[in-house]
């Protein structure tokens, strides 16, 4: 897909991408540990070798996605749509699935820990979902971001409770780590910052926060 985002090999651990449209996205070898991908559209996405340990993929659409050799250990895949997905070599020990979805995953080549569900039933029976931190700010994926003077900075590539990563161009590693409180409003579909580009750079927003984008404990 021409407009599908490229997030290959990016560190997206703990990111909140719930209900985002990532159809056809390139996420191969991405770090998505403990990411929230609930009800996310991942149709046809490339998740080869991605790390999805403890990720929440409940009710996500993975139709025709390539998830080969991905790590889905302890991931929540209840009610996820796995029809047509390539799960060859995917590690799914401890993953939460319905019985029917487990059958689909096994037929698609997924690997489960020996004696996992058969022995204890931990993979088959639904369990209470883990508490998820509520995001402090919700931004639409792909939305254009401009500075206070109207100059375009880029587009939203990922969101965390306290930060939004704005990539300068699709698939680019360079961008801005914008604190959520720096958004002043909107102009149509665009998000407007309260500072200029120069001020954003002076404040060091072009560098990943030293403590990471996760919420401070």
Distance CA 21, CA 152 (A): 22
In terms of DSSP bridges, do strands 163-167 and 152-159 run parallel, antiparallel, or are they unpaired? antiparallel
Q: Which residue has the higher pLDDT, 128 or 59?
A: 59
Q: Are 117 and 141 found together in one domain?
A: no
**Three-state SS across 8-44?**
CCCECCCCECCCCECCCCECCCCECCCCECCCCECCC
For 57-103, write each residue's pLDDT tens digit. 999 999 999 999 999 999 999 999 998 899 989 999 999 988 667 77
Confidence of residue 50 (pLDDT cuts 50, 70, 90): very high
> Tell me, what CATH number does 122's domain have?
2.160.20.80
Higher pLDDT, 35 or 139: 35
Instruction: Tell me what pLDDT residue 137 has.
Output: 45
For the cut 50, the answer to whether the pLDDT of residue 52 exceeds it is yes
pLDDT band at 111 (very low <50, low <70, confident <90, very high): confident
List pLDDT tens digits, range 4-22.
778 889 999 999 988 989 9
Q: Give the pLDDT confidence score for residue 3 in this predicted structure.
A: 64
| 102 plus 204 within the same structural domain | no
Do 7 and 104 share a structural domain?
yes
Residues 75 and 169 in one domain: no
Position 217 pLDDT exceeds 60: no
Q: Among the three residues 63, 98, 131, which one is the final residue of a domain in this structure?
A: 131
Same domain flag for 60 and 47: yes
pLDDT of residue 129: 40
- Whether residues 72 and 125 share a domain: the answer is yes
In the predicted model, what is the mean pLDDT of residues 45-67?
94
Total domains in the fold of the chain: 2
CA distance 87 to 203: 43
pLDDT for res 150: 92
| 87 and 97 fall within a common domain | yes
Instruction: Verify that 113 and 147 share a domain, yes or no.
Output: no
pLDDT at 63: 93
The enclosing domain of 193 has a CATH number of 2.30.30.240
Q: Based on the domain organization, do 154 and 113 belong to the same domain?
A: no
Q: Are residues 95 and 191 in the same domain?
A: no
149 φ, ψ (degrees, to nearest 5):
-90, 0
Domain boundary among 131, 157, 179: 131
On whether both 127 and 148 belong to a single domain, the answer is no
118 vs 193: CA distance, rounded Å? 53
Domain boundary among 110, 131, 152: 131
pLDDT in tens, 138-192: 567 888 999 999 999 999 888 888 888 899 887 667 899 998 888 888 888 889 9
Q: Are residues 118 and 143 in the same domain?
A: no
The boundaries of the domain holding residue 37 are: 1-131
């Amino acid at each position: 897909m021409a407009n599908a985002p490229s997030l290959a090999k990016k560190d997206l651990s703990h990111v909140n991408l719930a209900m985002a449209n990532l159809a056809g996205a390139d996420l191969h070898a991405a770090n998505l540990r403990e990411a929230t991908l609930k009800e996310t559209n991942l149709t046809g996405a490339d998740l080869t070798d991605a790390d999805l340990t403890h990720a929440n993929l409940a009710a996500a659409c993975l139709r025709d996605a390539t998830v080969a050799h991905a790590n889905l250990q302890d991931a929540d895949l209840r009610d996820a749509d796995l029809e047509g997905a390539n799960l060859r070599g995917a590690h799914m020990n401890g993953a939460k699935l319905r019985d029917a979805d487990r059958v689909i995953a096994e037929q698609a080549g997924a690997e489960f820990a020996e004696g996992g569900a058969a022995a204890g039933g931990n993979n088959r029976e639904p369990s209470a979902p883990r508490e998820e931190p509520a995001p402090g700010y919700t931004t639409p994926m792909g939305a254009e971001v401009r500075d206070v003077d109207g100059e375009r900075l880029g587009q939203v590539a990922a969101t965390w409770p306290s930060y939004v990563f704005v990539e300068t161009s699709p698939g680019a590693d360079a961008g801005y780590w914008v604190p959520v409180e720096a958004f002043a409003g909107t102009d149509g579909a665009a998000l407007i910052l309260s500072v200029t580009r120069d001020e954003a750079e002076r404040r060091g927003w072009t560098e990943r926060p030293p403590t990471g984008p996760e919420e401070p404990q």
